[in-house]
Amino acid sequence: MAGVLAAALASGCFNVTYTNPRLPPNGLVVEGTNQFFVAALVGDERVPVYKMCPQGVSQIESGLSVVDLLLTFVTFAIYTPRSYAVHCGGAPMNPMNPMMNPAMGPPMGPPPPMAPPQGGAR
């Protein structure tokens, strides 16, 4: 058993990464942990990425960190957490730009065109 723990700690962490090449990251990263039980047989693996990143997802990382491995080992795999990081994509977020901040309401759009001058030159 000690050999398994030593091998797990020596290997660092286990990571899986998905990258969307069509959507560059905008700098917003949402991190979290999914909770699993009974050697990860019970639990919800879904992560609501499109609620976290309404502009789209640039990258998703999922894996077992060293802390996740230690918690799994200490609880004899009764509790098995998995960490994730979701990198949002699209244009950089600007809280003062209504096009990027849905809380500010719909954008007003461009100003209306100017009317041509009335009458002729005198």
Domain boundaries, the chain: 33-97
Confidence category of residue 101, pLDDT binned at 50, 70, 90 = very low
**Does an H or E element contain 7, and which?**
helix 2-11
Give pLDDT tens digits for 36-80.
Answer: 999 888 988 888 888 999 989 999 999 988 899 999 999 999 999
Between helix 66-74 and helix 2-11 the angle, nearest 10°, is 170
The residue ranking higher by pLDDT, 121 or 42, is 42
Chain centroid offset of residue 95 CA: 18
pTM: 0.62
What was the pLDDT predicted at 104? 46
